[in-house]
Structure 1
Amino acid sequence: MIEIEEIKINYPGADAWQMGDSPELASELADLIKKGIKTASCGSFASFQQVESAPKIGSYNIILDGQNVPVCVTRLVSMRLVRFCDVTEAFARKEGEGDLSLEYWQKEHKRFFTREGHFSEDMELIAEEFELVEIV
């Protein structure tokens, strides 16, 4: 099994992290990224502001599965601020989850942000798009 530090040799400054809020979801999302289905993600702007080293366009990320095992490397290609109620069908499809519909995206993200403790229809999100660089 390849170690995070070995990957960072080729991608200096890369952050390693899981997506989602459970090991099961982290593994599911990492697999969607590895398959090229998931090319976007989002998080609440409020949470984003609390992160010490915010991601920057062009930065590399090592995506971990639910057991903290590296799965792939992505590169952030775009970021924008968007309200929950303004997320488009196209962006929902890029998130790659469920049936790829906006309705599914809204239902699951409302549930996620409610669990996180702050949901509203007009909440601001950081919408990120990324490209798969390498499967490790």
Structure 2
Amino acid sequence: MSGTGILLQPDDYAQANRFAFGDSPALADELLALVLAGTKTATCGALAHFGAGGEPLPEVGRQDVVLDGSGRPAAVIETIEVTIRRFDDVDAEFAHAEGEGDRSLAHWRREHERYFRRNGGFALDMQLVCERFRLVGRFERDRG
């Protein structure tokens, strides 16, 4: 089994923040698969979408429940680093850690520009919350 084989109990994470990666059920499932395989160990979001009614800013040491595309708890990740940086300051190392596509900076920039344009706007100097995380474990899920 790739990634961590630790099976978690949902009741242990009843109070945890819950979220799905991406902006569609298909993308949520695709990115979750990368997390479970150990390929995706980083993520980012527009700083403007955090706080004041949005998602809480990630904090080092916090554990969050990752949902699949159907909204079911799938895994728990723990934040190990949080930085704020401009879109155009994201480097190849971070793009590789995001684990998407061919893992290149060019792919990261192209796909993240598309994502941010779909979700409220894009600018080269927009501030991003860049988070690195580790997979804590997964929830047993009905495959049906």
**What TM-score, normalized by structure 2, do the two folds share?**
0.85
Partner residue of 1:105 out of 94, 105, 108:
108
Higher helix share: 1
Q: d(CA) in 2 for partners of 1:100 and 1:52?
A: 26
How many residues in Structure 1 have an aligned counterpart in Structure 2? 131
Among candidates 121, 126, 131, match of residue 128 of structure 1: 131
TM-superposed CA distance for 1:7, in Å, is: 3.9
Q: Which residue of 1 aligns with 2:62?
A: 59
**Would you say the 8 A contact 2:35–2:41 is kept in 1?**
yes
Shift of 1:13: 3.3
Gaps of 5+ in 1: 1-5
**Secondary structure in structure 2 of the residue aligned to 1:97:** coil
CA distance in 1, matches of 2:61, 2:13: 11
CA offset digits 1:85-131 (Å, max 9, x no partner) = 00000000000000000000000000000011210001100000000
Instruction: Answer yes or no: is the 8 Å Cα contact 1:8–1:14 preserved in 2.
Output: no
Q: Contact conserved, 1:80 with 1:126, CA < 8 A, in 2?
A: yes
Q: Partner of 1:76 in structure 2?
A: 79
Aligned to 1:49, what secondary structure does the other structure show? coil
> How far did 1:55 drift?
2.7
Offset, 1:14:
1.4
Of residues 21, 26, 35, the one that matches 2:28 is 26
Which whole-Å deviations, capped at 9, do the CAs of 1:1-48 have from their partners, x for residues lacking one? xxxxx8453236311211100000000011110111000000001111
SS of 1:21's partner is coil
Over 3 Å counting, the alpha-carbon distance change for 1:123 and 1:53 in structure 2 is closer
TM-score if structure 1 supplies the norm length? Answer: 0.89
Please provide the CA RMSD for this pair: 1.6
Q: 1:133 to 1:38 in 2, by over 3 A?
A: same
- The gaps in structure 2 that reach 5 residues or longer are 1-7, 140-144
Distance 1:48 1:24 in 2: 23
